[in-house]
């Protein structure tokens, strides 16, 4: 049975998601439609790429991923299908797919050209759904378009190495549901420049000198409970995506707050790691 995932910034209020699902079910008899997220911040390329990149590989090979973010057709925003790592990614050529597939070998890229293809205000339904259904029925990529070579790259958020390798300057690329601030600094990059040295992570006026592998790594269970760090304390860790993340232990944006509120961190803010 074919699997089609949906990642959009459509939200939950409007008819858009229902229209897409209904059309898919009307055209493919045996298909599983999975929502990855419909609460991407509007037109946020980096956020969408982060969520999809860290989700798609949990699905079986052959899964079709429909991306409905900043997808209106224009001469600078072509509609494309990319086959990589055994998966199909359908969306606009706006940088999302290049970020998702940046570490992958791309098998093919096709520009979508459908009969009577006209500019539409809802291309996820008018263009991406027919293509997804075609692939779900076992159709060939060559039928829906032509080879395409100009995959748009997004390199806006690359960490910089300065101070003769003693400093990594990165950015916050994602704020999650708990208010955790995910940076673009990879564990592999950190370890490559650390060389056994102590370090400090600087986020605005806050400094953290330890990196954990789990949120409760901040707790020393050998101490009495009254002496331990715990809920409300700041920490840094390598998250499951292998990125440096700043967090508040047991954070809740609706009550105690999170790293975004308590440390004053927002999307694109600078995070610096100094090796001492």
Cα distance between residue 1 and residue 46, in whole Å: 31
- For residues 148 and 83, the answer to whether their CB atoms sit within 8 Å is no
Query: Domain boundary residue among 122, 147, 172?
Result: 147
Question: In this structure, are 76 and 212 located in the same domain?
Answer: no
Q: What is the CATH number of the domain that holds 130?
A: 3.40.50.10790
Q: Do 164 and 36 sit in the same domain of this protein? A: no
The reply to whether 200 and 114 lie within a common domain is: no
Say if residue 143 is in the same domain as residue 178: no
- Tally of domains in the chain: 2
Domain range enclosing 136? 2-147
Long-range contacts of 117-124 (CB under 8 A, 24+ apart): 119/72, 119/73, 120/73, 121/72, 122/16, 122/19, 123/71, 123/72, 123/73, 123/79, 123/92, 124/8, 124/10, 124/16, 124/20, 124/66, 124/68, 124/71
For residues 226 and 127, membership in a common domain is answered with no
For residues 183 and 132, membership in a common domain is answered with: no
Identify whether the C-beta of residue 241 lies closer than 8 Å to the C-beta of residue 255.
no
Which two tokens mark 171?
């950015």
**Is 152 within a domain?**
no
Q: How confident is the model at residue 117 (pLDDT cuts 50, 70, 90)?
A: low
Asked whether residue 172 falls in the same domain as residue 143, the answer is no
Q: What are phi and psi of 241, to 5 degrees?
A: -90, 0
User: Over 90: is that where the pLDDT of 248 sits?
Assistant: yes
Residues 187, 239 within the same domain: yes
Tens digits of residue pLDDT in 155-190 = 667 899 999 999 999 999 999 999 999 999 999 999
Give the β-pairing of 2-8 and 64-68.
parallel
Q: d(Cα 215, Cα 246) in Å, to the nearest integer? A: 10
Structure confidence by residue, pLDDT tens digits, 129-163? 999 999 999 999 999 999 999 999 876 678 999 99
* pTM of structure: 0.90
For all residues of the chain together, what is the average pLDDT?
94
Question: Does residue 155 form part of some domain?
Answer: no
Query: Do 142 and 10 have their domain in common?
Result: yes
| CATH number of the domain encompassing residue 245 | 2.40.30.90
**Mean pLDDT confidence for 270-275:** 98
């Amino acid at each position: 049975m074919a699997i089609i995932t949906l990642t959009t910034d459509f939200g939950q209020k409007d008819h858009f998601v229902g229209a897409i699902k209904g059309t898919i079910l009307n055209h493919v008899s045996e298909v599983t439609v999975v929502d990855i997220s419909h609460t991407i911040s509007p037109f946020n390329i980096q956020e969408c790429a982060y969520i999809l990149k860290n989700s798609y590989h949990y699905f079986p090979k052959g899964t079709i991923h429909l991306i409905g973010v900043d997808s209106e057709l224009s001469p600078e925003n072509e509609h494309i299908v990319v086959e990589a790592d055994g998966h199909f990614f359908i969306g606009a050529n706006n940088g999302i797919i290049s970020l998702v597939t940046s570490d992958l070998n791309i098998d093919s890229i096709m520009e979508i050209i459908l009969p009577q293809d006209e500019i539409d205000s809802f291309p996820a339904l008018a263009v991406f759904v027919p293509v997804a259904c075609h692939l779900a029925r076992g159709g060939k990529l060559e039928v829906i378009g032509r080879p395409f070579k100009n995959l748009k790259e997004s390199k806006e958020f690359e960490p910089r190495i300065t101070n003769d390798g003693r400093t990594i300057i990165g950015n916050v690329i994602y704020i999650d549901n708990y208010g955790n601030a995910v940076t673009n600094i990879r564990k592999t990059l950190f370890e490559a420049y650390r060389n056994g040295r102590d370090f400090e992570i600087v986020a605005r006026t806050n400094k953290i000198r330890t990196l954990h592998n789990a949120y409760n790594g901040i707790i020393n269970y050998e101490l009495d409970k009254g002496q331990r760090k715990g809920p409300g304390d700041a920490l840094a860790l390598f998250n499951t995506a292998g990125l440096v993340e700043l967090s508040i232990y047991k954070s809740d944006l609706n009550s105690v707050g999170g790293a975004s509120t308590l440390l004053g961190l927002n999307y694109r803010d600078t995070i610096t790691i100094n090796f001492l």
